[in-house]
Amino acid sequence: MGFSKWHLGSGSQSTYTRTAPAYSKPINYVRYTSDGRLLTVYAGGDQLHVLRVGDLDEVRAIKIQTRTNFDAIEVSPTGHRVAVCMSGDVRVYDLDSGEELRSWSINQYPHFDISALLMVDPQLTGAGLTWREDGKTLTVSVADNPPCLRGGGTIYVYDLTAEKPAKTFRVNLLPSTIAFGTDDSLYVASNTCGGYFSHWALDLPIFDSTSGRKTGTIPAGKVGIRNNIEISANRHILLAYADREKTTFEGLEDTLKIEDAQWQVWDLATLKQIVVLPWSRWEVYHLSSSGRLLYAIQAGEVRIFSVTVAPK
C-alpha cells in the first residue's frame, strides 16, 4: 500500500510506501483526526488501522464487529474517536486505546444498491454519518424505503453519553449523506429518484437536529443538490453534487437521464454559490478542513483548486 503526503504550502510531496498483509485490499476510507496526528484507515475485513501521521507507522489495529454492509466511517471533530456505521449497527471506538466506547442498534433495513439503480458513481451515494462540531452528538441517516417508491427515511441523533437514541425523526425524501452546519443545523441530501418525464431538481433541506423541525432549504435552481454533500470543519463552506434528473420509459425498462451534472460550492453564511465545477465520471471532489481548497483524486492524479469567498 502506498501513501502520498502533500505539503500544500510549499507544493512539495513526500511519499511513503509500506506493505502488510492487512493492507492487501483496496483502501475504502482514510480519515485524519482533528489534530492531524493520526490516520484511520479501513481496507475491508474486521479491522481499522490507526497510523501515526508523522511517519505513517501503524500504531494499532482495532478489531471491529462487521456486518453485511459496511456503510461509513467518520472521525470525531474533537478527540481521538471514530464512528463506524454498518447495517443495523453504529459503534464508536477510541483510537488511542482501541476500546469500543459505545454501540447502538438501528432498525434493520433492506440494503439497496442505489448507485446501480441510479446508474451513477457509487462514491456519490454514500451513507449518512456525521458528527456535530463539539463531538458530543452523532447523527445517522437511514434510507428505509426503496429509492423509487413513496416514503422517505429516518434520522437518528445520538448523545454519546446515552445508550438510546436521543432523537429520531422522519424525512420525506430518501436520505443520503448528511452534514452538520453550525450548532444543531443538519443538512440532509436525498437519493430520491428523478421524476417521471419532467426533469426534477431537488432542494437541500435543513433541519434542527434536536426537534426534527425543518428550518430552511438551499433552493434548487436549474439543477438541484442530491446524493453527496460535505461541510468544512469550520462550518463555513458547503460542497455538493448537483444535477437534473428524469426517468422515461424506453424499451421495456425505465431509463434515468441526467443533465447538467456539476459540483457546487456554497458560502453558508450568505447562502450564495461561490464555484461551479463540471462533473466528470468517477471524479469525486472533497473539501479541505478549512474549506479553502477542493481536491479530487482520479487515475493517480491529484487535482487541487482554491476556493475564494468574497468579503461580506
Q: Does the pLDDT value for residue 311 go beyond 70?
A: no
Cβ partners under 8 Å of residue 293, min gap 6: 8, 287, 304, 305, 306, 307
Q: Does the pLDDT value for residue 129 go beyond 80?
A: yes
Q: pLDDT tens digits, residue range 83-93?
A: 998 767 889 99
Number of other residues whose CB lies within 10 A of the CB of residue 289: 13
Q: Determine the Cα–Cα distance for residues 197 and 206; give it in Å rounded to an integer.
A: 28
Rg for the chain, CA atoms, rounded: 19
Q: Determine the Cα–Cα distance for residues 172 and 151; give it in Å rounded to an integer.
A: 6
SS3 291: coil
Confidence class of residue 21 from pLDDT cuts 50, 70 and 90? very low
**Mean pLDDT, the chain, whole residue set:** 80
Span(s) in the chain for CATH 2.130.10.10? 114-312
Q: pLDDT tens digits, residue range 182-205?
A: 999 999 999 887 777 788 899 999
196-201's contacts with Cβ under 8 Å and 24+ in sequence apart are 196/246, 196/247, 196/248, 197/246, 197/247, 197/248, 198/246, 199/244, 199/245, 199/246, 199/259, 200/224, 200/244, 200/245, 200/246, 201/242, 201/243, 201/244
Higher pLDDT, 228 or 281: 228
Q: What is the reported pLDDT for 252? A: 65
Number of other residues whose CB lies within 10 A of the CB of residue 296: 17
Q: Which of 120, 23, 114 is nearest to 69 (CA)?
A: 114
Span(s) in the chain for CATH 2.120.10.30? 1-105
Was domain 1-105 assigned CATH 2.120.10.30?
Answer: yes
Q: Determine the Cα–Cα distance for residues 223 and 242; give it in Å rounded to an integer.
A: 6
Q: pLDDT tens digits, residue range 224-262?
A: 998 899 999 999 999 999 999 888 877 667 788 889 999
The CATH code belonging to domain 114-312 is 2.130.10.10
How much is the pTM? 0.86
Higher pLDDT, 109 or 244: 244
Which range (23-32, 71-80, 241-250) has the least confidence? Answer: 23-32
Q: Which three cell numbers stand for residue 266?
A: 456554497
Q: What is the reported pLDDT for 290? A: 84
Our measurement of the distance from residue 108's CA atom to the centroid of its chain's CA atoms, rounded to an integer in Å, reads 20
Q: Determine the Cα–Cα distance for residues 241 and 2; give it in Å rounded to an integer.
A: 29
Q: Which of 17, 22, 19 is nearest to 3 (CA)?
A: 17
Q: Strands 195-196 and 237-250, how do they pair?
A: parallel
Q: Does the pLDDT value for residue 68 go beyond 60?
A: no
**Is the Cα dihedral 40, 43, 49, 55 positive or negative?**
negative
